[in-house]
Amino acid sequence: MDSPAVEIIDLVKRYGGTTAVDGLSLRAERGAVTAVLGPNGAGKTSTVEICEGFRRADGGTVRVLGQAPDDPTLRPRVGVMLQSGGVPPATRCAEWLRLVSRFYARPLDSTALLVRLGLDEHGRTPYRRLSGGQQQRLSLAAAVIGRPELVFLDEPTAGLDPQARHACWDLVAELRGAGVSVVLTTHHMDEAERLADQVVIIDRGKVVAQGSPASLTGAERQLRFRARPGLALEELLNALPAGSAAKESPAGHYIIEGLVAPELLATVTAWCASEGVTADDLRIERRTLEDVFLELTGRELR
């Protein structure tokens, strides 16, 4: 039986007096895409950099492909994309990729990879003259060129334009199709929802929820709106069909769950009118990971 791609138990990481990772546990399965979702400062990068062997944990255990993260035998098996930098500014795009490819036994063709990521016209461009999105794509290319079993991508689409973002998503999907395990961090919930088999939502160094996107968001549709905090929901509940639920979470954000039908919408808006409030952002939809995060932490993801 293969060990999981990544297994983290009770990880702790401190920087001076601040605790960046505070008893975090997660498991990333082989051949799956695992998204670590959370706001800036949640501990995503610390967690990933411990898995990559760059930092030492202050507590807990971490296993990457069954090994200790700093085991040198992991280096050819694991591809890494740093959040930023990592390339000498004067080095030309194609030259860097070719150099990285020479460290591996059976690398991908660097030219084909550049074409694939839309960088072939910039092969002779020094790294510092590439746009932010092009730099990101070069880092992504370097992460996969050695044909790794597992890839860590730290905010792979930060700063990408929509087209480049889709190119990155396509490549991640293709990696998954080829049996590569992918662990990525993001604060874009749409990215996590779209790419991930498993989403781990972290906040303040702790896991607040994990599961498949569908299990986290639920299949049910909901009616949501914003209004002034502290509305008395009992009266509304009485007017709604049996089995409906209404809650305010966090303050000023209202969620009505139940059979979302035209009648329900009419009842809610009539109730709002009787309360003298205007429902802002009234919408009917499935919960998004953004909503899940907001409900769990009381804060916006970004």
Partner 1 sequence: MTTPTDPAAPAVPPALDLTPAPGAAPFGRMVLAQAGAEVRATLRNGEQLLLTLVIPVLLLVGFSVAPLIDVGGGSRVEFLTPGVLALAVMSTAFTGQAIATGFERRYGVLKRLGATPLSRAGLLLGKTLAVLAVEVLQVVVIVAVALSLGWRPQGSFAAAVLLVLLGTAAFSGLGLLMAGTLRAEATLAAANLVYLVLLGAGGVMFPLSKFPDSVRPVLELLPISALTGGLRAVLTGGAALPLGALAVLAAWAAVSLGLASRTFRWE
86 forms part of the interface with partner 1 (CB under 8 A): yes
> How far, in Å, CA of 184 to CA of 61, rounded?
20
273 forms part of the interface with partner 1 (CB under 8 A): no
169 forms part of the interface with partner 1 (CB under 8 A): no
Binding partner 1 (rule: CB under 8 A), the pick from 38, 148, 156, 205 is: 148
**End-to-end C-alpha distance for the chain, whole angstroms:** 39
Q: Do residues 295 and 247 lie in contact, with contact meaning Cβ atoms separated by under 8 Å? A: no
67 forms part of the interface with partner 1 (CB under 8 A): no
Q: Which stretch binds partner 1 (CB under 8 A): 36-44, 109-117, 130-138, 216-224?
A: 109-117
100 forms part of the interface with partner 1 (CB under 8 A): yes
Q: Which is nearer to partner 1, 29 or 149 (CB)?
A: 149
Binding partner 1 (rule: CB under 8 A), the pick from 26, 51, 113, 168 is: 113
Q: Which is nearer to partner 1, 35 or 151 (CB)?
A: 151
| 33-37 β-sheet, strand order | 78-81, 150-154, 181-186, 33-37, 198-203, 206-211
84 forms part of the interface with partner 1 (CB under 8 A): yes
164 forms part of the interface with partner 1 (CB under 8 A): no
Angle, CA of 76, 82 and 87, to the nearest 5°: 85
Q: Which is nearer to partner 1, 175 or 236 (CB)?
A: 175
64 forms part of the interface with partner 1 (CB under 8 A): no
Bridge partners (DSSP) listed for residue 14 = 19
Site of tokens 């802002």: 280
124 forms part of the interface with partner 1 (CB under 8 A): no
Number of residues binding to partner 1, judged by CB under 8 A: 44
Q: Which tokens is 131 given?
A: 């746009």
Provide the minimum distance between the beta carbon of 23 and partner 1 in the complex, in angstroms, as a whole number.
25
Binding partner 1 (rule: CB under 8 A), the pick from 25, 27, 54, 226 is: 54
Burial label for 178, CB within 10 Å (0-12, 13-18, 19+), is exposed
Footprint on residues 180-239 left by partner 1 (CB under 8 A): 180
179 forms part of the interface with partner 1 (CB under 8 A): yes
Site string for partner 1, 1-30 (x = CB under 8 A): ------------------------------
Q: How far from 282 is each of 180, 219, 274, CA to CA, in Å?
A: 41, 19, 17
DSSP 139-207: HHHHHHTT--SEEEEESTTTT--HHHHHHHHHHHHHHHHTT-EEEEEES-HHHHHHH-SEEEEEETTEE
Q: Which stretch binds partner 1 (CB under 8 A): 6-14, 32-40, 173-181, 237-245?
A: 173-181
Q: How far from 93 is each of 78, 114, 154, 296, CA to CA, in Å?
A: 22, 9, 20, 42
Radius of gyration of the chain (CA): 23
Q: Which stretch binds partner 1 (CB under 8 A): 20-28, 145-153, 183-191, 273-281?
A: 145-153
272 forms part of the interface with partner 1 (CB under 8 A): no
Residues at the contact surface with partner 1, assessed by CB under 8 A: 52-54, 72, 75-78, 80, 82, 84-91, 95, 99-100, 102-106, 108-109, 112-113, 115-116, 142, 144, 146-149, 174-175, 177-180
